[in-house]
Amino acid sequence: MTESILKTISELTAIPSPSGNAYKAIAYVENIAQELGFSTQTTNKGALIITVDGDEKERQRCITAHVDTLGAMVKEIKDDGRLALSLIGGYSYNALEGEYCEIETRNGETYSGTICLHETSVHVYRDNDKIPRDQEHMEVRIDEKVTSEEETKRLGIQVGNFVSLNPRTEITPSGFIKSRHLDDKASVAMIIEFLKKINNKGLKLPYTTQFYISNNEEIGYGANASIAPEIEEFIAFDMGALGDGQSSDEYTVSICAKDSSGPYHKRLTDHLVSLCDQQNIPYQIDIYPYYGSDASAALRAGADVRHALFGAGIESSHAMERTHIDSLKATQALLEAYCMSSMTEK
């Protein structure tokens, strides 16, 4: 199981999919789901819904994870041919400096580049470590022989082109997975693994379940629409946030009791904790202070569901992220235990 999940994570993180341009990643998941024989539907927003029939069809569940990632767009082509950026999602320029990237033109051509401080050279710019890393000073150095705005434009590069970052995915002998975009492609990989298990072992879920692969989570409106009226429970299957004052770690599943949107549904959250206790799944309960999920977005949009959130513990979110195989195992175990369990009370 672990090797299969790690392979899927590596393949998914290699697919550029910033919010607004996640088509290839959605197609990757859709192809796997259809090969396994599951029914799929693409929403008008471009999200993917995979339906797994269960014994009970009148009462249903939804589990959402997202393939869209942080990224950027070309904001301006500068006089010297380099690019200014407009960031997509909650990126900080401090987390991008020196990173290799890819610019995709509207006709599908791609060019490589590097996100640099304009005043990078210490042999030219004194005290450049004191220069703020912000939109005024950060730019993309394109790996082409361009020295002017016109030369860059002749490549087909325009304002509004998407810019994706090299994920640099690596799996260490000690069991760590470090990569950009583990948020939330690690969760999507675990859903794919569960779909394979359902298919291979002929499992029957107690309730029809929609696995909603969203494509706009990082900008706040991923899985808040196209929710079937039969759905009673809605799980955001997303990352656990690590840092000072947090309970979550890289070796357990993180269950969120509250984030910036407020508390998650108490009885459904209690049910997740109870499953962990019953099945000896290592877990932590946590509060994520600067975090919102597709489940909270769905409630803001008016969905009448019980909502909860859990996922693998991810270190250094929205930067060079890292987790451990132990966290993936615990999270996968809770995903499967929940999907095979009875629903909570209203």
Judge whether 217 counts as a catalytic residue: yes
184 is in an annotated binding site: no
183 is in an annotated binding site: yes
The SS3 assignment for 322 reads strand
The strand pair at 162-165 and 283-287 is best described as: unpaired
Tell me which H or E stretch contains 297: helix 294-300
Distance CA 222, CA 216 (A): 4
**Residues near 35 by beta carbon (within 8 Å), at least 6 away in sequence:** none
CB 222 within 8 Å of CB 259:
no
Distance CA 102, CA 16 (A): 8
66 is in an annotated binding site: yes
Buried b (16+ CB within 10 A) or exposed e, 55-91: eeeeebbbbbbbbbbbbbbbbebeeebbbbbebbbeb
Q: Which of 99, 139, 193, 217 is catalytic?
A: 217
Binding positions: 66, 183, 218, 238, 318
Question: Which residues are known catalytic residues?
Answer: 217
